[in-house]
Structure 1
Amino acid sequence: MSLCLICHRTPDPARTACQPCEATLRALLLEVDAQRPLLAASLYLGAAPAGGRVTGGGRAHSPLPVRGHVLTLLAAGTLDAVTGPRADQSGDVPLDTLLAGWAAAVANDLVGPGAVPFRRRGMTWATWLAAYMPHVVTASWVGAFHTELDDLVRRIRAVTTTEPRRNAMQAPCPSCMAFALGRTDWQTYIDCEACGTLLTPAEYDAHRATVMPPLARIGVLIAAHTHLTREAS
């Protein structure tokens, strides 16, 4: 039986990436689009040297009016084969070039070599790839896709100085009973850090409504017993 090419868990049959890793890929794609306004706001430099001069002699040159590495990230995408399973370029590439390359990989798998993915007006490449996630999680290149996508998001976070927060849930995991459920920003699912169980928000709410009242009653009884024991001693 094959293992998940991302985390090495055992995925469902016919898949190369397990469900938790699929949720991670979807979250990363969602974050790319959500971070675009922050990237745009981070593009311009705060200020140039006063009067266009610097100390130390010589002639001062006007600085680039924008931050170069941010400009690279936001540059227009291309469908040239610079990224994807047959990548022929290394180093930083614009985020849309990277995503368009992987969209081309999907199109090549589904249609044939040289196929060009079609993107509707207003749709981003991140949204396009999320729509084709059922194929992505069966592809032989899903591990490389995750590596590049994760690296892209790390580059973006380094610019915008943002990190996803994890909010802990009150109820224990329904599978392993560990108090390790939480939801991380951009993630669709609530997940258990102990066993990897995934819950939708609706599933968690139903689970919490079932288990928390008995746990609260037990807590009250324990507190009362502790208090009476202390009073008697």
Structure 2
Amino acid sequence: MSSCTVPGCPRTTDEDTRRRMCPRCARQLQALLRELVGQMPILQASLQLDRSPTTGSVHGGRAHSPMPVRGDVLTLLGPGSNTTLSDPYGDTRGDQTGPPSLDQILRGWAEATAEHTRLAPTPWRRPGQTWAEWLAAYLPWILGAPWAGDFHQELGELVGRVRAITRTEPRRRPLDAPCPSCEAFGLVEEDWQPYVECTVCELLLTPDEYTAHARRVMPRLYRTALLLAAQQHQESA
């Protein structure tokens, strides 16, 4: 058992494993990759600028010819990225300014993964596959890489940039059934996360496990709630 390599995480790794991060950070990493895959269509839809007049307009029109697309989105979906979008200025040299594109960042981590696993000299994607999907498939190997914590940190920052553009945040929803382990009402589900989690004891359940658990305990809880409500009504009558 050793310390989690994700910056700022105080937890430890599992016993008898070669993972470089704790189970919670490993789940977060899996969720970040899943979210990045799901965010791509929203990010592409965010490329077009709003057509409403802006500061500097004259009589409802624009004072100057605007850039036809959002520069921050174009940077993320820059040359070489896995998208059908093209640079409207015809720049195919890949010498864009500003932060690197999604494709450049994820391809770099894919190359590091290929080198770490020694399964292939260079990473290769199936047609239509994104680098995020490729990395998700190699997640068991990534968790044991010496740079796993750095990958988690950079991926979190990358997803943060995407969320700022698409204006989306994962939603956390409390669930009705109590935790089968600690019996607290702390079970929640969150977008992109593969598990239902107890916020009190950190128990993890698959969606199917939670559904089966809820079917067992909720009828009894509903009956108890009805009896308590009836008793309170009688006492107040």
Deviation at 1:155, TM superposition (A): 0.6
What is aligned with 1:108? 115
**2:23 aligns with one of 15, 19, 41:** 19
The one-letter code sitting in structure 1 at the alignment partner of 2:11 is: R
C-alpha distance in structure 2 between counterparts of 1:203 and 1:76, whole Å? 43
Question: Aligned pair 1:194/2:196, yes or no?
Answer: no
For structure 2, the residue ranges without an aligned partner over 5 or more in a row are: 82-97
Which residue type is aligned with residue 155 of structure 1? R
**Aligned position for 2:33:** 29
Q: Give the Cα–Cα distance (whole angstroms) in 1 for the partners of residues 225 and 13 of structure 2.
A: 38
Aligned partner (choices 63, 68, 71) of residue 71 of structure 2 = 68
Query: For 1:115, what is the secondary structure of its paired residue?
Result: coil
Q: 2:223 aligns with which of 195, 214, 217?
A: 217
Question: What letter is aligned with 1:164?
Answer: P
* CA distance in structure 2 between the aligned counterparts of 1:147 and 1:21, rounded to whole angstroms: 10
Structure 1 63/122 Cα, relative in aligned 2: closer, same or farther at 3 Å? same
Q: Taking structure 2 as the reference length, what is the TM-score of the superposition?
A: 0.80
SS in 2 for 1:167: strand
Question: What SS does the corresponding residue of 1:45 show, helix, strand or coil?
Answer: coil
Amino acid at match of 2:141: H
* Cα distance change on mapping 1:4 and 1:174 into 2, 3 Å: farther
What letter corresponds to residue 196 of structure 1 in structure 2? E
Q: Report the identity percentage.
A: 51
Offset of residue 202 of structure 1: 0.6
Unaligned runs of 5+ in 1: 79-90
Q: 2:158 corresponds to which residue?
A: 152
Shift of 1:48: 8.8
Q: Which residue is 1:86 aligned to?
A: none
Which residue is equivalent to 1:43? 47
**Residue 88 (structure 1) aligns with:** none
Please state how far the C-alpha of 1:22 moved relative to its aligned partner: 2.1
Partner of 1:136: 142
Equivalent position of 1:121 in the other structure: 127
Q: Per the alignment, do residues 72 and 213 of structure 1 end up closer, same or farther by CA in structure 2, a change over 3 Å counting? A: same
Structure 2 distance, partners of 1:35, 1:18, is: 25
Aligned residue identity for 1:3: S
| Deviation, structure 1 residue 190 | 1.0
Inter-partner Cα distance in structure 2 for 1:170 and 1:54? 52
Per-residue deviation, 1:149: 0.7
Q: Per-residue deviation at 1:61? A: 5.6
Q: Distance in 2 between matches of 1:20 and 1:181?
A: 15
Q: Equivalences for 1:91-106 in 2 at 5 Å?
A: 92-106=99-113
Give the CA RMSD over aligned residues. Answer: 2.4
Shift of 1:24: 1.6
1-structure distance, mates of 2:65, 2:232? 72
Q: 1:47 to 1:229 in 2, by over 3 A?
A: closer
